Amino acid sequence: MAVSVQEADFDAGAEIAALSAGRPEVGAVASFVGLVRDVGHGAQVTAMTLEHYPGMTEQSLAGIVAEAERRWRLHGVRVIHRYGRLLPCDRIVFVGVASAHRGDAFAACEFIMDYLKTRAPFWKREETPDGAHWVDAREADDEAAARWDESWEAVDPRR
């Protein structure tokens, strides 16, 4: 399965290996791992809880993977996103993309992360010594996703 939304940790090395195992047509695997940091907006972060919208999350990630497969020549894609309470240094998200050459793999991997950050229904709540708060969306993430815009999804969620 290309997409997993799970509480459990993942083994990035095993996921990367699986993307090319027994597939001699794969010449490149690009991957990204997102981690919990111990700094938020100027405050120390002691833990983070990720909430999501079961059902829509899986659909949304599958849609992003399908769009990446439409735009680039890919031999395999794997997306894993965790939810629940995580600690600094914990892994949050894995994106792995296999293709014949590095160009498609790098581009598709970055595209999937940029779209995931602005379209997949996850919300982060940080715990700090001063209490817990919901993380605000960053404009920089919208700008990163907008770089890839062509005509995909005519619906502007900000209307």
Name the site residues for other proteins (rule: CB under 8 A). Answer: 34, 50-53, 55-56, 59-60, 81, 92-93, 113, 116-125, 134-138, 141, 153, 155-159
Cβ-based nearer residue to other proteins, 61 or 75: 61
Q: How far is the CB of 153 from other proteins (least distance, A)?
A: 8
Sequence-ordered strand ranges (E) for 24-135: 28-35, 47-52, 76-82, 84-86, 91-99, 122-128, 131-134
The encoded tokens of residue 125 equal 């709540």
Length of the chain: 159
Tokens of 157: 């969620």
Q: Which is nearer to other proteins, 45 or 50 (CB)?
A: 50
For residue 26, the minimal CB distance to other proteins (Å) is 25
Q: Please, what is the minimum distance in Å from the beta carbon of residue 81 to other proteins?
A: 6
Residue among 38 and 153 whose Cβ is closer to other proteins: 153
Distance CA 4, CA 134 (A): 24
Strand 47-52 versus strand 122-128 pairing type: antiparallel
Compute CA 157 distance to the chain's CA centroid, rounded to the nearest angstrom: 19
- Least distance in angstroms from the C-beta of 118 to other proteins: 7
- C-beta closer to other proteins: residue 27 or 34: 34
